[in-house]
Structure 1
Amino acid sequence: MKIRKKAVAIVSLALVAAMLFSACGSGSTSSGPQVQSTGTSTEAKSKDNDLVIAMSESVLTLDPHNLTSTMSISANRTMYENLLTFDKDMKNIVPQLAKSYEVSKDGLVYTFHLQTGVKFTDGTDFNSEAVKVNIERCMDKKNNLKSFRYFTKVKEVKCPDANTVEITLKEPYSVFVNKLTNFGIISPKAIKEGVTLNSKAVGTGPFKLKEWDQADHLIVTRNENYWGEKPGVDSITFKVVPEAGSRIAMLQTGEADMIYPIPPEQIKSIDGTKDIKVESVPSNIVDYVTLNMSHKPFDNIKVRQAMNYAIDKDAFIKAVYGGYGDHATSPIASTTQYYSKQEEYAFNIQKAKDLLKEAGYPDGFKTTIWADNTSDSVKGMQFINQQLAQIGITAEVVPMEGATLNAKINEAQNAAESKIDMWFVNWSPSSGDADGAMRGLFYSKMIPPANANTAYYNNPTVDKLLDQGLSETSPEKLASIYAEAQKTIWNDAPWLFLGQRVVQYGIKNYVSNVYMMADGSINCAQATLAH
């Protein structure tokens, strides 16, 4: 079979070039004031060699095949590695556990050449059989893993030798390499022995798990047997701090070396002070509210559209983002592959009232809105409730601890069992592609607990378009397919489309090689501290 060979660092045009073009051309998404970091001290020193990151959300799982949050991804990537990964700007796919790969001309056979001399933290060798075991774990429906969807098109996996793995697909899969950037490889021994991977980690990464208290912290320590360049810090602590003021105080006192997110209203007051600098990164993160279409009155499209018209997006950007961000103009971010801008639901209270009246709710109704209990999420829910009150809708604000919220959403096995009405949340495709930005949220089979379609949205047209996108390789045709999908979803209004944020974080000047990615995850695998 004739094959085309390519270096991993330069990704095939047919697969992701459009993503790279989109990301390169997007620029900053901030419509608010630009952050100019003035922290330039070269004398700042850390009191120790232990990195502490204070973050608003809990790590939900340690299983790299079952990740749903960027904070879980951040922690996992210190302990697990993928065949491929993204560079700092998420513009190129680069090597990690694979040195290079080849794709057959028909797009069906992917051959990966693996790094050598790599071991898992349990002493097991990393090789082609380990990759095969991990893929088979995800393909087994009984395991009910989120990564199952990455491998539905896999026909077979072969291991020609210890350092080569050959994956054959049933049909072309345009974003396959993108998905592999979010597929951590677990020790095959741990898988076969039934290790509880939700709470234990056995990877090849530069760190290994020390302890995890889900509600409070996760600590990893340096893997002294790491195959690559060893990190400069002894340990990393991911500290759960939901209250924004407490995170700021920790950064100012040196109790934390980095915090995320940072309250926009605090940026000017702390940037450049006490060895602190504030960094901003254009993101692919979209904030929204899901509307459970299996519940009345959200089954009525006029109600959903009325609610969209009732939200002042400028006020949202100012109140929740502190002016740093843009309106959402599609179900996906403008920095995401194959983004297509839609006509906004412009703020119009009278139009919203008229639509509610036509839907049979002239006096509005009562409902509930869920979110995690972070300061930003509570602020967002309160803002949405205030906006909807203008058209007679009362949305009771219900904040929950992250793990509790996740459990309540996923306890429903079908739409009839779902208790959620509205969910204020955000999403970013860590795989960088349009399918990753839409499938888990809008595909009919991705309702909880399979994934995050908490709108219980079911449109056969959208399902068909998303499936077509996976097997198409022409960038022009993919642009058309995903544009139609975005337009259909936008018009159906299964969400309140709110905003696209800028990733902003506070960090000490003495910290190096720690940064935020466009998807809101933290890269700290090669962290160093001046001390």
Structure 2
Amino acid sequence: MSVLPKFWAGVLAASLAMTSVPAAFAKTPADQLIVGMSMINLLSLDPAAATGLDVSEVNANLYDMLLVQDVKQPDQLVPALAQSWQVSDDRKTLTFTLRPGVTFQSGNPLTAEDVAWSLQRVLKLNLALASTWKAYGFTAGNAAQYLRATDEHTFVLELPRPTDPMLVLNTLATSPSAFILDRKVVQQHQKGDDMGGAWLTTHAAGSGPFILNDWRANDVILMSRYDGYWGGPAKLKRIVMRNMTESQSLRLMVERGDLDLAKGMSAPDIEALEKSDKVRTQTVQRGTLYYVALSVKNKPYDDARVRRAVRSLIDYQGINQTVMPHYGQLNQRPLPLGLPARLDDPGYTLNVAEAKKLLNEAGYPNGFKTTIRVLTEPPFINIASSLQATLAQAGIQATIVTGTGNQIYGAMRDRSFDILVGRGGGGAERHPHSSLRTLVYNPDNRDEAKLSNFQGWRTSFYSPELNALIEQAEVEPDKTRQLAQYQQIQKTLDAQVGAILPVSQMTDTVVVYHDVQDYQTHSAATTRYKDVYKSR
């Protein structure tokens, strides 16, 4: 990592010093955006390796994508590096025409070769973010054939197998793997066959509106304006992101003006700040769901009557009213809220009498003992505590087992759990298949298949009927028929009692100081700072 230049050291010192200024006079610099956020999950900036919402927001300001979701209407896709695109009549080929005159921050021209190389690189490195591309049929071996430049300004994506082109377009607009790299700069820093991976962990080679000046892990990220940006220079000169994990510290600093944005605050602190005229809040829906998962591999959850009983023992309304404000919003379907294909909630409520009847029919009149695996952090642990209490009302004695993310989700990936409270789904892609592929689809239920990227496989829930319906809907070209198919999938899943029981759809709340203008948090976590300014 580069040594922090004296200029930036001064900038950082000034921003840190603001905490000692009396509250009446605290004010961040007019030409800088000071952001407080947790960086504990920010492990790499490499677009081929970097997962998580936080790194998406960082990279969205350092890099560009071919196209993006409209910030106010995420179902609408709008041009970015690609000024236009066409889908062939047979739905197999997507052709992108790049906007002319775009240069990387290095000064190198951005060409279709950079686009092809960036996406091929994801598959060749074969890290976690390659999973979505592999689901479309791309591999390291065929990437050069199907992801190619035909001239300097034309990029062609040919689908190795049939799928809905709109699904692929949404992936290009939202996936952390879809940022376009300056291949010449990256290749200069390649070590062995890492394709520049070690260097890109702490550096950037993009064309975005801001240049990465420095990143200190779990400390600070510094970015400065790139005046040669193709969309015009950003309104602010600098972005300073500070690692802050204590919610009360974030609350204090944003309220008195030491921070412009505060992310990752606890619900009580957000609620307290909503009473202040110095700040405002922005809440945005994410594509992932909080859920209760059951392992169908284990008794008694292989019995649909028991799964239905557990479904009747979740206090959906109580959880969403008392636990989920600023964390999530009631959603009992596997599809994100707002998708045209999503059916209305089925109206599940806590019904102890119904659950007892089902348990008696299944041969468990006195209930049974079980475990609930869960992270210790809110709202996961709060959901688990509520579930433990309501299960007990029907005689199910559940012991809560806590652990780290690797321990909890690792047990799920190993298919070694009873009940698990977790979060997952299709992410930011505004397409039903994205969520169904993640939460329901299970093409091979054998342990040795190790399809751990499919959360349906993790639960051992296996339905050939649902698999066939999902595969059919994915490739259906008629939008009306496709819509009906996705609605039928939801009805069938309800009848079969899937092993993942959605409780709430994730929301994120950002606290914004009152003089910050044109900040709009994005549902895909690709929030861009280019047009943000301060009214002073």
TM-score range, shorter chain: 0.7 to 0.9
Equivalent residue, structure 2, for 1:475: 479
Structural mapping, 1:256-267, within 5 Å:
256-266=259-269
Take 2:531 and 2:36, find their aligned partners in 1: how far apart are those partners? 14
In structure 2, the CA distance between the partners of 1:496 and 1:226, relative to structure 1 (3 Å rule), is: same
Q: Is the contact between residue 313 and residue 327 of structure 1 (CA under 8 Å) also seen in structure 2? A: yes
Is the counterpart of residue 330 in structure 1 residue 328 in structure 2?
no
Unaligned runs of 5+ in 1: 1-42
Q: Which has the higher contact order (CA 8 A, sep 6+)?
A: 1
TM-score, normalised via structure 1 length? 0.78
Partner of 1:431: 429
d(CA) in 2 for partners of 1:295, 1:124: 57
Other-structure match for 2:21: none
> What corresponds to 1:187 in structure 2?
182
Structure 2: which amino acid aligns with 1:480? A
C-alpha distance 526-268 of structure 1, shift in aligned 2 (>3 A): same
Residue pair 2:28, 2:34 contacting (<8 A) in 1 also? no
Residues 1:148 and 2:171 are matched in the alignment: no
Q: How does 1:57-72 map to 2 (within 5 A)?
A: 58-59=41-42, 61-66=44-49, 68-72=51-55
Query: For the residues of structure 1 that align with 2:409 and 2:201, how far apart are their CA atoms?
Result: 18
Larger mean CA deviation between 449-458 and 341-350 belongs to: 449-458
**Alpha-carbon distance, 1:276 to partner:** 0.5
On the 8 A contact 2:283/2:326 being kept in 1, the answer is no
1:176 corresponds in structure 2 to 168
Work out whether 1:54 is the aligned partner of 2:54.
Answer: no
Q: State the 1:239 CA deviation.
A: 4.5
Indicate the residue corresponding to 1:80 in structure 2.
63
Distance in 2, matches of 1:98 and 1:451, equals 31
1:64 is paired with a residue whose SS is coil
Deviation at 1:84, TM superposition (A): 0.6
Seen in structure 2, the aligned counterparts of structure 1 residues 60 and 406 have a Cα distance that, compared at 3 Å, is farther
Q: Give aligned pairs, total.
A: 482
Tell which structure's C-alpha radius of gyration is larger.
2
Cα distance per residue 1:377-402 (max 9 Å; x no partner):
343333333333333332415253xx
Alignment partner for residue 532 of structure 2, among 520, 527, 530?
Answer: 527
SS, match of residue 160 in structure 1: strand
Q: CA deviation at 1:428?
A: 5.8
Q: Deviations over 1:316-366 (max 9, x none)?
A: 111113499653231112312411235233211122233344445533323
Give the 3 Å change call, closer, same or farther, for CA 394–521 of structure 1 in structure 2.
farther
Q: 2:511 aligns with which of 498, 506, 511?
A: 506
The match for 2:13 is none
Give the 3 Å change call, closer, same or farther, for CA 367–522 of structure 1 in structure 2. Answer: farther
| Match in the other structure for 2:520 | 515
The question of 1:350 aligning with 2:350 is answered no
- In the TM superposition, residue 99 of structure 1 has moved relative to its aligned partner by 0.7
Superposition pairs of residues 6-21 of structure 1, within 5 angstroms: none
Output the CA distance in 2 between the equivalents of 1:441 and 1:57.
27
1:163 aligns with 2:186: no
Q: Distance in 1 between matches of 2:362 and 2:213?
A: 55
Residue 82 of structure 2 is aligned to residue 120 of structure 1: no
Q: Does the aligned pair in 2 maintain the 1:217–1:240 contact within 8 Å?
A: yes
Pairwise CA distance, 1:207:
2.5
**Cα displacement (A) at 1:206:** 1.9
Contact 2:327 2:379 in 1 (8 A): no
Match of 2:86 among 99, 102, 107: 102
Give the drift of 1:498: 1.0
Contact 2:33 2:260 in 1 (8 A): no
1:389 partnered with 2:392:
yes
Other structure's SS at 1:302 match: helix
| Distance in structure 1 (CA, Å) of the matches to 2:261 and 2:298 | 41
Q: Specify which of 125, 132, 146 is matched with residue 116 of structure 2.
A: 132
CA drift of 1:94 comes to 0.5
Letter paired with 2:179? G
CA pair 293-493 structure 1, distance change in 2 beyond 3 A = same
User: In the TM superposition, what whole-angstrom CA distance separates every residue of 1:267-313 from its partner, at most 9, and x where no partner exists?
Assistant: 55423625211234466553223333344444443333222211111
Following superposition, the deviation at residue 210 of structure 1 comes to 4.2
- Give the whole-Å Cα distance in 2 for the aligned partners of 1:331 and 1:114: 36
> How high is the TM-score relative to the length of structure 2?
0.78
Partner of 1:228: 231
Could you tell me how far apart the structure 1 residues matched to 2:518 and 2:463 are? 44
Residue 180 of structure 1 aligns to which amino acid in structure 2? L
Structure 1 residues 219 and 481: CA distance shift in structure 2, 3 A: farther
* Cα shift readout 1:21-58 (whole Å, capped 9, x = no counterpart): xxxxxxxxxxxxxxxxxxxxxx9963451321435973
* Pair 130,74 (structure 1): closer, same or farther in 2 beyond 3 Å: same
Please identify, of 330-339 and 216-225, the stretch whose mean Cα deviation from structure 2 is larger. Answer: 216-225
CA contact (8 A) 2:27 2:257 kept: no
Q: Is 2:252 the partner of 1:249? A: yes
Per-residue deviation, 1:163: 0.6
Q: How far apart, CA to CA, are the structure 2 residues paired with 1:299 and 1:189?
A: 54
Q: Distance in 2 between matches of 1:121 and 1:410?
A: 40
SS at match of 1:279: strand
